[in-house]
Structure 1
């Protein structure tokens, strides 16, 4: 990864993190069909939520090595697509309370303050979050994060809000216990037993405020996942068919007939996803239900593509399969960066397939801000799947 070297001070006139991300957000709002007034209002919220780090010049290194992105930018975007002809839904994920040194306890306190301030602005209740504070904000927290916040941007300037919490806050060995207790406190007493086997629980996400069916979402990590095992990870009933899950995973991870142009065909390619793991997300809405009402498969496409041009081609193919015009997605890179997609990998970080009861399937593309660095494009690989981290 290339990045600016630390020099102890910013170059006079150097762009700041706030200037960069505001420009990206405003341009993405245009792609998502949001007007200038909404774009301006959301840009203001972004800068306020980032706090002082928004004023940090970009020729200085990241203030904190946040886990939110590969280059440690505390902002990520996503575009979510439905097959109904409407513009994609734009979301921005950020780490409020972003402080030097990665002090998780302080990050958590500042993050909670920022979330409550935003919730007060939009009259959003944070009662469900308050029920969980002792689980996720101990005095000496562990793990890679304290709190992330996502805003689903809507016309009218009032977003939907959700928070991402760290199940390992009280120790990695207590992650499963924390997930189980979270679900119990929120009324989903039988939910934990319905989760598939996993190698870890990186996040719990919580919808706050004005959602049609507020969810608690449990994210599970699956190391070395065999493609044939992926369909069984879905525990919603009814859920997507096995062929649909496998097709999405194979396409996103580049397990096509000859994914790298090396003469290695699918029959010879490994049927196991090595390197950066696949994640699944299990959404719970009904407290009297036996299992989840939603399932999402998250594939880290950046780890299994030579460059972003290749990743975008896969995303476009998947959108076409679901009857979605890929034009908006193909416009997105230019809203974020001046570089060509072929000149790096990581701008398109994840591709996700989401199923929720009563709704059509949704495809989401997660886009990196790349404020601090760009991973160079990779050379062709000798097998169908790379082992990049």
Structure 2
């Protein structure tokens, strides 16, 4: 089981990355206190909205006729957050909210819209929930709502509670807030996830079936909090893989330890898919794309197909994010070298790079060298 410091750091990084997060844990274990402490550490306003005492109109807006038009008036908490321009929206007791209220919450989590008001981008969403079997009149989360959240299991350790009572409980780490990930790191992380899904395309989408499957498609065990039944926790989809890439970039920018990345990826795509991805990532051993662009003549394409795909897509992502002629030209040199042994992978990278030509760039010599190689491989028309 993860310790509370790992989960607190994971929570802070997820908030900094703008990824909605859900803390799972038993009642009375300090989930709400941790989220409030995070808001206080950031000096952010926080609005606590308890799902069990709300109606769908508290999220969809209350219809009001004004000047011959029907407007959806949002509640006061949404107005306060919109006026502040930043803050935490804390959706507490999520599993005690009935399905109709969960459906209304869905738009808030996905589109950040409450009634006719859109919450600012700097308002982040955090939720907390008790396992349905421990909640009064508990409901499983619907798979669409679960898929929009990163799920973190809130640990309970008797010794940590004893220390907390004696000397104070740990406050959430602010790692990741000072240095948000630059665009090239986000693109590099997306390229890495894409390379994995090239190898394991079956994990791109695994919708929970019948409410009794875990995130990796296997049967859930009753009472198993780590693989809670139904769509109640993370499962693989294009949306959750994109969230995993954002969290990877945020972890790299923050210098977070590996265990923090582990719990965040598992919380996004489910434990089964995360186990495969993290194991693959551990053995990937990719060169730094920035270093490759700095010395493209020294680059050697990895022989493994997944590594070749990952390094080429990462190199192109960094070159595109930089937007300068020098790195755009260097990326073409890398692709030209790759085309001699892996023309199919090089073609995919070349198409992306060609569509993002920076101002002032001329057709590089490497591209002219690349053309006959691709044509002989049957990847270009006459």
Instruction: Please indicate the TM-score interval, normalised by the length of the shorter structure.
Output: under 0.3
Greater C-alpha Rg: 2
| Greater fraction of residues in strand | 1
- Please, what TM-score do these two structures have when normalized by structure 2? 0.25
Normalization by structure 1: what TM-score?
0.24
Structure with the higher helix share, 1 or 2 = 2
